[in-house]
Structure 1
Amino acid sequence: MFQAFQNLDDEKRYKIINATLREFSIHNYETASTNKIVKDAKISKGILFHYFGSKKNLYLYLYDYVTAIFTDAINNSLDLEEPDIFKRYKQIMMMKLALIQQYHTLFDFLKKTYAETSLEVRNELDQYNSKLQDSSYTRVFAGIDYNLFHENIDRTKALDTIKWVTNGISDRYEKQLKSNLDNSEAFHQLLEQCMEEATHYFEFLKQLLYRNTKG
Structure 2
Amino acid sequence: MYSAFEKQSQEKKELIMNIAIEEFTLNGYDTTSTDTITSRAGISKGILFHYFKSKKNLYLYLVNFCIDLLTEKTVTAIHALKSADFFERVKEIYLLKHEITGKFTKETQLIADAIMSPPVAVQKEMQQIIADYYDTYAKEFKFEHVYLKELIQIDKLRDDITVEQVIEMTMFISEQLGNKYQTLYKNNQYDFFKEPDPVVKELNDYLKIIKYGIYKEC
Greater Cα offset, 48-57 or 34-43: 34-43
Q: Which residue of 2 aligns with 1:115?
A: 116
Please give the residue correspondences for 1:49-60 in structure 2 after superposition, counting only pairs within 5 Å. Answer: 49-60=49-60
Q: Distance in 2 between matches of 1:157 and 1:164?
A: 11
Please give the residue correspondences for 1:1-215 in structure 2 after superposition, counting only pairs within 5 Å. Answer: 1-79=1-79, 86-137=87-138, 138-142=140-144, 144-145=148-149, 150-151=161-162, 153=165, 159-165=171-177, 174-176=192-194, 195=200, 198-208=203-213, 210=214, 212=215
Q: Which residue of 2 aligns with 1:187?
A: none
Relative to structure 1, is the Cα distance of residues 10 and 117 closer, same or farther in structure 2, using a 3 angstrom cutoff?
closer
User: Deviation at 1:213?
Assistant: 6.8
Relative to structure 1, is the Cα distance of residues 77 and 166 closer, same or farther in structure 2, using a 3 angstrom cutoff?
same
User: Deviation at 1:166?
Assistant: 5.2
- The size of the alignment, in residue pairs, is 200
Task: List per-residue Cα deviations over 1:148-206 (Å, max 9, x = no partner).
Answer: 683495975652222223565797673326xxxxxxxxxxxx77x97566333311133
Q: Contact (CA 8 Å) 1:4, 1:51: kept in 2 or not? A: yes
Task: List per-residue Cα deviations over 1:104-152 (Å, max 9, x = no partner).
Answer: 1112211211233433211111111111122123323316329868349
Relative to structure 1, is the Cα distance of residues 213 and 70 closer, same or farther in structure 2, using a 3 angstrom cutoff?
farther
Please tell me the residue identity of whatever aligns with 1:206.
Answer: K
Please tell me the residue identity of whatever aligns with 2:194.
Answer: Q
Relative to structure 1, is the Cα distance of residues 94 and 169 closer, same or farther in structure 2, using a 3 angstrom cutoff?
farther
Unaligned runs of 5+ in 1: 178-189
User: Deviation at 1:37?
Assistant: 1.1
Q: Contact (CA 8 Å) 1:30, 1:118: kept in 2 or not? A: yes
Q: Distance in 2 between matches of 1:56 and 1:23?
A: 14
Q: Contact (CA 8 Å) 1:173, 1:194: kept in 2 or not? A: no
Unaligned runs of 5+ in 2: none
Q: Contact (CA 8 Å) 2:4, 2:51: kept in 1 or not? A: yes
Please tell me the residue identity of whatever aligns with 2:15.
Answer: K
Task: List per-residue Cα deviations over 1:45-86 (Å, max 9, x = no partner).
Answer: 100000011111101100011001111011112148879663
| TM-score between the two structures when normalised by the length of structure 1 | 0.76
Relative to structure 1, is the Cα distance of residues 213 and 29 closer, same or farther in structure 2, using a 3 angstrom cutoff?
farther
**Higher relative contact order (Cα pairs below 8 Å, separated by 6+ residues):** 1
| TM-score between the two structures when normalised by the length of structure 2 | 0.75
Q: Distance in 1 between matches of 2:204 and 2:41?
A: 44
Q: Distance in 1 between matches of 2:74 and 2:216?
A: 27
